Structure 1
Amino acid sequence: MNLIDARGIDFSHGGHRVLQGVSLSVAPGEIVTIVGPNGSGKSTLLRVLIGALKTQKGSVTRQSGLRIGYVPQKLHIDPTLPMTVERFLNLPHAVAPDAAAAALRAAGVPGVAGRQMSQLSGGQFQRVLLARAILARPHILMLDEATQGLDQPGSAAFYRQIEAVRRDLGCAVLMVSHELHVVMSASDRVICLNGHVCCEGTPEVVSAAPAYRELFGTGTGGALALYRHDHDHGHDHHHEAAE
């Protein structure tokens, strides 16, 4: 059974139709990436799948008891507000210190529990958000452009961390991004969205699809590089192939 099934989703905001007839599913353990240009409805779709937004048409079915870990696009914390990483991880519910430490290790930032949130680098901040998302041992991890603001090496490292979390937890991953240079690094399946599903399939299939090329172009202008990883081994192999 799929973790999430969405069928025929329509969503409008302020008289503007953001999503039209969108259908998708995510199976246990699968890594799915949603790509699309700015304004294509990617973040809206994710919020619909989580249940934060109600659709005007269509249905979303979630597996009974489904646990979702969510990493937002950005989170503003007042820099003048004293808050350690440990305290942040204890909001809104207290967690055991060993559980918090394990989540930080899994997210790739061990030893930062005593640091102030305001003192973290961009990459560390996002990894703390990831740690908070995996504290509940989710069945599916959802990330909404979680590497926005990071440079390319930082983004690639973050996506490799996501692969490690998927291996360790056995969870599915649904990622939303416009960062074509790294976003397909770990994907089993890619969905190209522009208000509707333009094309869907493996990274190689989608990158060759006419609908994808119409949106993003080809060559260096398309800024597409596929970082292929071997999911069956515990170490990373990444080979960059520019389209």
Structure 2
Amino acid sequence: MPQSIKDPLIIAGREFQSRLIIGTGKFKDYKENAAALEAAGGEMVTVAIRRVNLDKPDAPLLMDSIDPKTTTYLPNTAGCFTGDDAVRTLRLARELGGWNLVKLEVLSNVHLYPDMAETLASLKLLVADGFDVMVYCTDDPVYCQKLEEAGACAIMPLAAPIGSGLGLLNPTNIRLVKEAVSVPVIVDAGLGTASEAAAAMELGVDGIIANTAIAGAKDPIRMARAFKHGVIAGREAFLAGRIERKQYAVPSSPMTGLIK
């Protein structure tokens, strides 16, 4: 039986076979975006409500290339620097498309790092308003616990600064975040290539979001396919259980009964 069937990702009661989420920004056009989604085997895309055209009939529409009836749209608050803007944006998203599962991100002016105080405050408002909220955040396990306690349905710590491609900078904190919360942990932002996605999945996280790493690659479709396999390989390796690290060599064959 395929791994994806035995091991679904469940977020706010919704079941997904793929553990890879891709974005809808920076692609050449929506057709390329759709091809990348297919290559990634993805079932969910993030949609920056403040940047993506959803409702202008005279311009290309994302919905023309990626059908919201077959792909889960995850509206996000990219470009929001205050909690008020984030809440207003997601309320607009619900009015536009009826979307209730959303991604909250509130950025600071310091290298686009998450503003955690604003994030936590706006999360509480959104949860009270009936949203299922996946939250982009720092890799601070204490703050991640606070987000879960405030009602987040998934925690999304950064691997590195947004769009940097620096990879998994702090695997220890990502592992501690995973241990600290019971909701799904989705590594978001900063990955550059498929091996980094695999390394994150080997820590036991539940999924990966990739946008710039795929859309900015020389061949986005091939990179999307690589991320798909990286995520699957990392998940399989985690479930399989790696061997213990040892200081010295250990023979792979018995040292007794050798031919003399």
TM-score range, shorter chain: 0.3 to 0.5
Higher relative contact order (CA 8 A, sep 6+): 1
Greater per-residue helix proportion: 2
Flag the structure with larger Rg.
2
Bigger fraction of residues in strand: 1
